[in-house]
A and B are shown apart, each in its own frame.
Chain A
């Protein structure tokens, strides 16, 4: 036996363990969520219906001593995009699920009536309990309550009110070691899928984090040591990320003219520095109290890109405030006040919203005149009163950016396959535009992070303003990322993986030592390709064609300042991304 699948039937309110089929031995994280969704969910299923399934899987290396291996993948058919979806998060839960011998939790069916349940997974058993008393709770109070009941070592996977109301901007929350619910599998409306199953939360009860059995312990230890050395030696993972967090990107994207501002109407924000990683770090240091930088989201993280942002009294407001969230709720809305951004971020975490989709939708609503660009107080009110309570206006935001654009008759709506674009304007960072257009997930930066070579000069340099070379760059990164997403490794290990020659072989050595197999570095590429092929096949069967692998039309003709550029990678080149 190579592990267990925990099946949770929400129609019958039953749980059962089954052996993981041998064919899934080397499937973890995204590889396993996508394989199970492709194998078990009809592509034509309604994403919020009886036949969709929510699949939760730790990575192949999660629960071992592999550094930075605590990612948890959540997959389903997405109610936001209609495609297959995998969204992954840090936090403490992936390692716990893996240490219980569970390779995947599959939540299926749909309750006949109303009412929510809580799934408690322990060392020896799993059970579903009625959760009427937890219904409607924001994720902060919910996490406090669940730690009171089940102990402060518990992993908590949950949805806020937005997930309960099946809003397609809802994400799936997981907790960090201090019980903050801010580690989100945010994208694609997976919180709505969990809500549609009538599942409010999953509590994973074990103290273990590193106890997954490894076949060849000595070889594993040696490979893990090498991989740790690569992370420790790379200047991005050993200096910039722990000191400033991921929001260190705000200033550089602004300098490059690729920081989407006021609903993608400009490539630079005049107040970018005020909400940058540098400003965040300086504010946190000055205020003291519970704020900190260099925070970890899970045991065994060596990068420490997380932070805790504190208010003027030193009380924790939000952990973490990271780049995508700071951008979405900041420059994209014309907001530069870090305190407003942190409160908005906390509200997203509490109500259960994807920060990116929320910020992109707010940008669209600001363009529509529902609230003004730069009005942080109005944005806070919209999330805290309207969305939390499911008012008609709250549900407009809860429908995501594309729906909001349609409702208000706008053409500048930055989405692909229905999903809001993250924090890089594809006209000035053309490699990421190729990824947004062609990814199996809709507009997703992590699916093939071309920003590495376009802006950061990691893994070489490809001019971000030229269409040349972007398709090859995006293709290679999409393949590599699919493989990384299967391992449970944090995507930020990609920086040493791209630059340090012994880093990737050490990952392959860890997998071989853990599972007793003989993979080569070449196999990793084939492995990534297979994941993408599985996802593409699902999307094709769900009705997606190359006509969907396109950016919104305005990006082809509306010039972006300061470079005066449009997105000019030809359609036929976009169609070459998946030529393998």
Chain B
């Protein structure tokens, strides 16, 4: 299956070739979780605070489906 990962803020250093505002495609095994995808991408899970799958909050255990869009953020805030 194919999924897209976008990393933001301080996580961008783990996918330095990813243009801002675009995703990077990965082809993990079916049944892979968000945590598995992040491992595959080399993004340390302990630096990830917020995960969204298809624009909804999800946990690292969330099992991905073909075509999913995953976004990962470190702790961020503002206002």
Given that A255-B52, A461-B57 are contacting pairs, would A247 and B78 also be in contact in the complex, using a CB cutoff of 8 Å? yes
| Bound CA–CA A492/B76 (angstroms) | 11
Please indicate the chain A residues that have their CB under 8 angstroms from the CB of B10 in the complex.
239-240, 243
Closest to B54 in A: A562
Main secondary structure of the interface of B (DSSP, over half): loop
Task: Give chain A interface residues in 229-282, CB to chain B under 8 Å.
Answer: 234-236, 239-241, 243-249, 251-252, 255-257, 268, 271-274, 276-279, 282
In whole Å, how far is B72's beta carbon from the nearest beta carbon of chain A?
10
Given that A240-B76, A244-B9, A322-B78 are contacting pairs, would A252 and B20 also be in contact in the complex, using a CB cutoff of 8 Å? no
Closest to A336 in B: B21
Query: Do B9 and A235 have beta carbons less than 8 Å apart?
Result: no
- The size bracket of the interface on B is 20 to 34
Closest to A234 in B: B75
B40 interface contact, C-beta 8 A: no
In whole Å, how far is B16's beta carbon from the nearest beta carbon of chain A?
12
Query: Do A252 and B79 have beta carbons less than 8 Å apart?
Result: no
Given that A449-B79, A456-B76, A495-B77 are contacting pairs, would A252 and B21 also be in contact in the complex, using a CB cutoff of 8 Å? no
Query: Do A246 and B12 have beta carbons less than 8 Å apart?
Result: no
Question: Could you give, for residues 1-45 of chain B, a 1 whenever the CB lies within 8 Å of some chain A CB and a 0 otherwise?
Answer: 000001011101000000011100000000000000000000000
Please indicate the chain B residues that have their CB under 8 angstroms from the CB of A271 in the complex.
21
In whole Å, how far is A345's beta carbon from the nearest beta carbon of chain B?
15
Query: Do A273 and B21 have beta carbons less than 8 Å apart?
Result: yes
Please indicate the chain B residues that have their CB under 8 angstroms from the CB of A446 in the complex.
79
Please indicate the chain A residues that have their CB under 8 angstroms from the CB of B75 in the complex.
234-236, 239-240, 456, 458
| Bound CA–CA A274/B22 (angstroms) | 11
Closest to B6 in A: A255
A457 interface contact, C-beta 8 A: yes
Please indicate the chain B residues that have their CB under 8 angstroms from the CB of A495 in the complex.
77
In whole Å, how far is A528's beta carbon from the nearest beta carbon of chain B?
18
Please indicate the chain A residues that have their CB under 8 angstroms from the CB of B20 in the complex.
273-274, 276, 278-279, 282
Given that A256-B52, A272-B21, A461-B57 are contacting pairs, would A452 and B77 also be in contact in the complex, using a CB cutoff of 8 Å? yes
| Bound CA–CA A563/B20 (angstroms) | 23
Query: Do B73 and A235 have beta carbons less than 8 Å apart?
Result: no
Query: Do A278 and B9 have beta carbons less than 8 Å apart?
Result: yes
| Bound CA–CA A235/B6 (angstroms) | 20
Of the listed residues A245, A252, A268, A279, the one surrounded by the most CB atoms of chain B closer than 10 A to its CB is: A252
The count of chain A contact residues (Cβ–Cβ below 8 Å) is 50
In whole Å, how far is B75's beta carbon from the nearest beta carbon of chain A?
4
Instruction: Identify which of B55, B73, B76, B79 contacts A257 (C-beta below 8 A).
Output: B55
Given that A255-B52, A273-B20, A278-B20 are contacting pairs, would A243 and B77 also be in contact in the complex, using a CB cutoff of 8 Å? no
Please indicate the chain B residues that have their CB under 8 angstroms from the CB of A249 in the complex.
76-79
| Bound CA–CA A455/B22 (angstroms) | 21
Query: Do A457 and B78 have beta carbons less than 8 Å apart?
Result: no
Given that A257-B55, A272-B21 are contacting pairs, would A248 and B78 also be in contact in the complex, using a CB cutoff of 8 Å? yes
Closest to B19 in A: A273
Task: Give chain A interface residues in 202-238, CB to chain B under 8 Å.
Answer: 234-236
Query: Do A492 and B12 have beta carbons less than 8 Å apart?
Result: no
Given that A252-B50, A273-B20, A465-B56 are contacting pairs, would A278 and B77 also be in contact in the complex, using a CB cutoff of 8 Å? no
Instruction: Identify which of A234, A246, A255, A277 contacts B79 (C-beta below 8 A).
Output: A246
Question: Could you give, for residues 457-500 of chain A, a 1 whenever the CB lies within 8 Å of some chain B CB and a 0 otherwise?
Answer: 11001011100000000000000000000000001100100000
Can you name 29 A-B pairs with beta carbons within 8 Å?
A236-B75, A236-B76, A239-B74, A240-B74, A240-B77, A246-B78, A248-B77, A248-B78, A251-B73, A252-B8, A255-B55, A255-B71, A255-B73, A268-B55, A273-B22, A276-B20, A277-B9, A278-B8, A278-B12, A324-B79, A445-B79, A446-B79, A456-B50, A457-B49, A463-B57, A464-B57, A465-B56, A492-B77, A563-B55
On B, residues with C-beta under 8 Å from A are 6, 8-10, 12, 20-22, 49-50, 52, 55-57, 71, 73-79
On A, residues with C-beta under 8 Å from B are 234-236, 239-241, 243-249, 251-252, 255-257, 268, 271-274, 276-279, 282, 305, 322-324, 445-446, 449, 451-452, 455-458, 461, 463-465, 491-492, 495, 562-563
Q: Which 3 pairs from chain A and chain B are nearest by CB?
A: A273-B21, A246-B78, A235-B75
